Structure 1
Amino acid sequence: MKNRPFHQRLAFALTGIATAWRRERSLRVQSAVAVVALLALVLLRASALWWAVVVLAIAIVITAELFNSALEALIDHLHPDQHPEVGALKDMAAAAVLVSSIGAAVVGALFLWSTF
């Protein structure tokens, strides 16, 4: 898979997003929240700085969710049985999504606070 042309690597990445979209309800929910956040930026005429901060926060949450989904799928494939260590790994990956989501919520709250 190494040294493939850019368009092939881009296609792999887009396929990964599409697969996660189909499999992960959490990703669809987070995407809907992201759309609401972007609409708020439009409606409240946010500055370019707020756009940058909010888009970065959205990207961090979506990235964390994609890593979480990939890690969970890999763990389930390699070790389909329940095991305390497997559960701990999945919990840690989910915690990364939670932490990034809390950070994004704080960014949203600060934006709203600065607007009103």
Structure 2
Amino acid sequence: MKNPKDSFLRGRIRSLKFAFKGFWILVSTEDSIKAQLFFAFIATILGFYFDISAAEWSAQVIVIGLVLVAEGANTAIEEMADFVHPEYHKKIGLIKDIAAGVPTIAALTSLVIACIIYVPKIMILF
């Protein structure tokens, strides 16, 4: 909640505090985020190993961010749905399934980008 006594700068600093708190909650409690961070780490190692170009780094960083944002949004939607209706409900189940589709699309997109970047580099090794 916004504090009316906060200056613009103090309000931004408080917002950052909440943002980092949310990031920490995601990283420390959500297995899906942990898995995606593991894949991001592997992709980063591969990027250094294969000395990918600046454009390839840009694409890789964008899709890593896309996947993490999608996972975070999915988690938030699922948490809200569970809060609003803790028992099983067909419509809540549908909402959660649709929300789960969002990181799936992002992950598939990142897989395509990874193939575009790394398959030619791996083929050169053989």
The answer, yes or no, to whether TM exceeds 0.5 is: yes
The structural deviation recorded for 1:61 is 0.2
Q: Distance in 1 between matches of 2:109 and 2:29?
A: 25
Q: Distance in 1 between matches of 2:95 and 2:33?
A: 19
Q: Return the index of the structure with the highest Cα Rg.
A: 2
Q: TM-score, normalised by structure 2?
A: 0.87
Query: Does residue 5 of structure 2 align to residue 21 of structure 1?
Result: no
Match of residue 105 from structure 1: 111
**Structure 2 counterpart of 1:53, from 51, 54, 59:** 59
Query: RCO higher in 1 or 2 (8 Å CA, sep ≥ 6)?
Result: 1
Give unpaired runs (5+ residues) of structure 2. Answer: 3-7
Cα deviation, 1:41-80, whole Å, max 9, x if unaligned, reads 1111011000000000000000000000011001101100
Q: TM-score, normalised by structure 1?
A: 0.94
Give aligned-pair identity as a percent.
28
Match of residue 89 from structure 1: 95
Find the residue that maps to 1:81 and give its secondary structure.
coil
Query: Does residue 47 of structure 2 align to residue 41 of structure 1?
Result: yes
The structural deviation recorded for 1:7 is 1.5
Q: How many residues align?
A: 116
Structure 2 residue identity aligned to 1:57: V
Structure 2 residue identity aligned to 1:93: A
The structural deviation recorded for 1:6 is 1.8
Structure 1 residue ranges (4+ consecutive) displaced by more than 4 angstroms after TM superposition? none
